[in-house]
Structure 1
Amino acid sequence: MAAVTALLALSGPAFAQQQPAAPPSAPPMDYSKAEIKTVALGNNAYMLEGQGGNITVVVAKDGIILVDGQFAPLHDRIKAAVAATSSLPIKYLVNTHYHGDHSGGNEAFAKEGVTVVAQDNVKKRLMAGTTNGLTGVKTPPAPQGALPSDTYTNFSKIRLQGRVADLKHIPNAHSDGDTYVWFKTARVLATGDTFTNGRYPNIDFANGGNIKGMIAAADVYLKLTNARTKIVPGHGPVADKAALAEFRTMLVTARDRMAKLVKDGKTEDEAVALKPFADLDPKWAPDELASKNFIRVVYHSLADKPDSQPGLLKRIFRRN
């Protein structure tokens, strides 16, 4: 959490997901100015924008399901924003992955009786602590109370009266513990950071992320959604299927260009110097640092020797 907080203080909340962690000496983030904005999605579903990853709120007849919880200091403001949509209790909080701008609220919500759900690897990463692949900055293990109490491997469901949330794992995309959440009756898809609308994604290659898995995730989402679906990205405004398709096209372009550089034997620094995504930057990069970081994470996706990958992931890679 300390590393993530330092990261956001340096880069600003809007693009936190695509910047490297800042040195430990960076000033702490000022949460006092954070505002929570509610966006209605229809069908008694909402997106909350704040300081960190987007939150999805879906209201059932007997309770509420949240997808992601931002940072612990924002708990009261998030809870107030949820209460403005419904007086029903929050029953479940789903972590789309382990990063603190999405899972930081775990402990505070769990203390109130909310069941925190995540893919198995999220709990493992939070328990062990992690290292930023770009900077080497370490995030310490999370406290016991912040760990998900309900985990799954490949697929799970959350059922409340009038609502079903389908949770599915996307292997090795943004990280190794990504979950997307599909609310079929609400026509809402929550992707976490496997999709970021209008900006380059971070690919956490040091903790299982890979651009090939990101493309595989986009393929799954394009098959699942239609023109009426509201897509809640990890960061950025609410999206539709057309925005998702544009994101996938960018990923494929980046993968193909970087694959050639890697094949030609270019080093990471040489790849950065060549600026292979210069024509993509005006649309997807808010600044030069974001541009360079995306080059680096795509490079590592294709140049690093992969760990032993599950058979499912190998099949996904072959299809893409």
Structure 2
Amino acid sequence: MSRLSYALTAGALVAACLGAVAWAQPPAPPPFATTKVEGTDNVYVFRYGNHQSMFVVTSAGVIATDPIGYGRPQAVVTYVDEIKKVSSQPIKYLIYSHHHFDHIAGGKPFKDAGATIVAHKRAKERLAVLKDPHTVLPDETVDASRTITLGETTLELSYIGLNHSDSTLVMRLPKQKVLFAVDFIPVGTVPGRGMIDFYPLETEDSMKKVLAMDWDKLIPGHPGAPGGRLGTKQDVQDQLTFLQDASAAVKAEAQAGKCWDGVEAPSPSASC
């Protein structure tokens, strides 16, 4: 076979492989979606891009969480519109999961609709200093815990310590056995961006506390993998095991006298 024939054959194989890969890729998801949590009649997930929030419809109003409007005010307008498609009840509460802007910026349309904004007390402290013009300060704060009862629905807010932030609230619907926890328990992936804004050791304790709670479905702040799925207790256990294994490996290297550079990229000559 000539060189040209080899080249043409190789090119055809590459094209075929690339075509197969392209064909196998799932279609891109729509920019936003609202889905009811299976097994419930009033709990919904609103996703916009790669962020998502939970909202709960009751006979006395709607409890919404995280407006997810950072850099995209249209997301918040869409969020409110999606709630109105599901219920004619007024939005009574908007609850911030923690103080990071990518999840809580853009709450003004909720505030204008009459919602009371709730967050951990440390979130309000951080936001008061940062003074982001696109993030509405909370009206009410939570210290260790708070229970919100609206209509026939009870929502428990719990501060379980340091994890992805120092202001994270875990939200649990005891009747529906649904949990909303943002950023410190990724579903089907690992903690991103090198664990910035993260307390790795304390996160292990937070995960243990989450595992001790009574729930069946976990709504994460970013869609679970694959397919935007919700999480289970096994997902939390997998994350806890991952962190524990990583911590043990780093401690072993440190106890062997290696400095950070040696742990990150082992080298026979690495020394502190």
TM norm. shorter chain > 0.5:
yes
Following TM superposition, the consecutive aligned residue runs of length 4 or more in structure 1 with deviations greater than 4 angstroms are: 202-207
Instruction: Name the CA distance, whole Å, in 2 between partners of 1:123 and 1:204.
Output: 26
Judging changes above 3 Å, is the alpha-carbon distance between structure 1 residues 128 and 51 closer, same or farther for their aligned structure 2 residues?
farther
Q: Deviation per CA, 1:152-184, whole angstroms, max 9, x where unpaired?
A: 211112110101111011211111101000111
- Give the equivalent residue in structure 2 for 1:184: 174
Q: Deviation per CA, 1:174-211, whole angstroms, max 9, x where unpaired?
A: 1110100011112110011121112222599886x411
Instruction: Name the CA distance, whole Å, in 1 between partners of 2:171 and 2:138.
Output: 16
Q: Deviation per CA, 1:27-81, whole angstroms, max 9, x where unpaired?
A: xxxxxx9822122212310111213532011111111111211015111111122
Please identify the structure whose Cα radius of gyration is greater: 2
Structure 2 length-normalised TM: 0.76
Whether the 8 Å CA contact 1:158–1:164 is kept in 2: the answer is yes
Comparing both chains, which one has the higher relative contact order based on Cα–Cα distances under 8 Å and sequence gaps of 6 or more? 1
Whether the 8 Å CA contact 2:47–2:53 is kept in 1: the answer is yes
Instruction: Name the CA distance, whole Å, in 2 between partners of 1:49 and 1:87.
Output: 20
Of 64, 67, 70, the residue aligned with 2:65 is: 67
Instruction: Name the CA distance, whole Å, in 2 between partners of 1:34 and 1:77.
Output: 13
Of 171, 177, 183, the residue aligned with 2:161 is: 171
Secondary structure in structure 1 of the residue aligned to 2:124? helix
Of 246, 270, 273, the residue aligned with 2:265 is: 273
Instruction: Name the CA distance, whole Å, in 2 between partners of 1:166 and 1:154.
Output: 11
Once the two structures are superposed, the pairs formed by residues 119-134 of structure 1 within 5 Å of their partners are: 119-129=120-130
What is the RMSD of the two structures over their aligned residues, measured on CA atoms?
Answer: 2.5
Secondary structure in structure 2 of the residue aligned to 1:54? strand
Judging changes above 3 Å, is the alpha-carbon distance between structure 1 residues 271 and 84 closer, same or farther for their aligned structure 2 residues?
farther
Whether 1:256 aligns to 2:257 is no
Once the two structures are superposed, the pairs formed by residues 201-216 of structure 1 within 5 Å of their partners are: 201-202=191-192, 209-216=198-205
Of 188, 198, 220, the residue aligned with 1:233 is: 220
Whether the 8 Å CA contact 1:53–1:68 is kept in 2: the answer is no
Identical-pair percentage: 25
- Give the equivalent residue in structure 2 for 1:220: 209
- Give the equivalent residue in structure 1 for 2:82: 81
Judging changes above 3 Å, is the alpha-carbon distance between structure 1 residues 165 and 204 closer, same or farther for their aligned structure 2 residues?
farther
Instruction: Name the CA distance, whole Å, in 2 between partners of 1:268 and 1:107.
Output: 44
Once the two structures are superposed, the pairs formed by residues 1-320 of structure 1 within 5 Å of their partners are: 35-41=31-37, 42-71=40-69, 73=73, 74-129=75-130, 141-143=131-133, 146-202=136-192, 209-226=198-215, 229-237=216-224, 238-274=230-266
Whether the 8 Å CA contact 2:105–2:135 is kept in 1: the answer is no
Secondary structure in structure 1 of the residue aligned to 2:45? strand
